[in-house]
Amino acid sequence: MDELVGGIRRVTMPLPTRPGHVHAYLLPGEDGWTLVDTGIGLPDAKETWAAELEQLEGRVVTVFITHFHPDHIGAAADLHELTGAPVVQGALDYAQCELVWGNPLWSERLVEWFRQQGAPDDVTAELVGQSSVYRPFIRYQRDPILVEAGEHVDGWELVAAPGHADGQLCLIRDGVLIAADHLLGRITPTVGLWPASRPDPLGDYLGALDRTIELDPEIALPGHGDPIADPAGRARELKEHHRVRLEETVEALTGEPETGYVLSFALFGADLPPAGRRFAVAETLSHLERLVREDAARHHEADGVVTYTAA
Ligand SMILES: [Zn+2]
């Protein structure tokens, strides 16, 4: 456990896949600690957390979930059992959490969706198989306390940070932004289009980056990697990254209809493992849908397959 600015504590939990770790933060409050995110629900997560919490003076009064991805929500139910504290989660994020992790038919829906985006059947099976790897390690808390951006949790204001996940919420107080996966230092957060996600996640993300620049926090504490000393500067870099990627996407388009799957090879290369391809397709689609809204690309649907052409 590390001590950071303002008495905030950071607990780093292992991840079996890249980037190999995820951070949870403990925010000091008058009545006790607010724990932000839980790590993935590895079989020994509860024991690991019990040992960590023993080092803490005072009790955890709130478990806050920034977004429903496995590395952030996986041990939520364990922490609720350990601490007795209520779990607090964004309303939209919890709805998507139920849709994905509470729904045994989700994998079929994902298969169908990748097919629509042009992935061949054998590849689709591999892509979706990869996504179920995490399922056994997700113990989210049912019926959490639902909150919205603009509300406060233990003195911290909740800020909407859509893009990486539609319903992701960050927390801000006294110039400190608990950034989840909205801003990361060295990694570019993935911003993908997924079934049942909002229609223009990249547009949402670019708007959320503008909001970060406006808020201009002094420091951001991300879900992965080191604290970010210039959050507004990092937000500008990420905007620039997507501006370039949008240009590359325009260049990849022609008058011939192409699927998001095929276009992902032009943008992300041919050598990707299935998990990498899954994100590459979702990222390619989020850029294509942004371009459609900028009148720089056209979206077509025929015979259950979605394709794109140059505008
Ligand atoms: Zn994460």
11 CA distance to ligand 1 middle (Å)? 14
Return the pLDDT at 193.
97
Which helix (H) or strand (E) covers residue 152, if one does?
A: strand 152-153
Give which of 40, 195, 39 is closest to 111, Cα–Cα.
Answer: 195
The answer to whether the CB of 298 falls within 8 A of the CB of 309 is yes
For position 19, what pLDDT does the model report? 87
Distance 22 CA to ligand 1 centre (A): 6
CA of 123 from ligand 1 middle (Å) equals 25
Report the Cα 276 to chain-centroid distance in Å. Answer: 15
User: 45: closest CA among 69, 75, 68?
Assistant: 75
Residue 171 alpha carbon to ligand 1 centre in Å? 15
Task: Report CA(37)–ligand 1 centroid distance (Å).
Answer: 10
Q: How many angstroms does the Cα of residue 73 sit away from the middle of ligand 1?
A: 9
- Interval between CA 122 and ligand 1 midpoint (Å): 28
Q: Ligand 1 centre and the CA of 292: distance in Å? A: 28
Spacing, Cα 40 to ligand 1 middle (Å): 10
How many angstroms is it from 302 CA to the middle of ligand 1?
A: 35
Residue 103 CA to ligand 1 center (angstroms) comes to 21
Question: What is the reported pLDDT for 80?
Answer: 98
Question: Cα of 222 to ligand 1 centre, how many Å?
Answer: 9
Strands 60-65, 152-153: parallel, antiparallel or unpaired by DSSP?
unpaired
- Please give the distance, rounded to the nearest whole angstrom, from the Cα atom of residue 137 to the centre of ligand 1: 14
- Which residue bears the tokens 């989700």? 106
Quick one: pLDDT at residue 131? 65
Query: In sequence order, which ranges of the chain are alpha helices (DSSP H)?
Result: 45-54, 70-73, 76-83, 91-101, 106-116, 121-131, 201-215, 231-252, 260-268, 274-293
Q: List pLDDT tens digits, range 56-87.
A: 999 999 999 999 999 999 999 999 999 999 99
Give me ligand 1 centre to Cα 174, in Å. 24
CB 202 within 8 A of CB 289: yes
Give the contacts of 269 (CB within 8 A, at least 6 positions apart): none
Which residues have C-beta within 8 Å of that of residue 90, sequence separation ≥ 6? 65, 67, 146, 147, 148, 149, 158, 167, 168, 169
- pLDDT computed for residue 132 by the predictor: 73
What's the start-to-end Cα distance of the chain, in Å? Answer: 52
pLDDT tens-digit map of 94-139: 999 999 999 988 888 999 999 999 998 888 888 777 667 788 899 9
Low-confidence residues in the chain, pLDDT < 50? none
How far does residue 85's CA lie from ligand 1's centre (Å)?
Answer: 22
Task: State pTM to two decimals.
Answer: 0.95
Q: Report CA(223)–ligand 1 centroid distance (Å).
A: 6
Instruction: Give the pLDDT confidence score for residue 130 in this predicted structure.
Output: 65
CA of 181 to the centre of ligand 1 (A): 5
Residue 295 vs residues 89, 250, 310: alpha-carbon distances, Å: 36, 11, 9
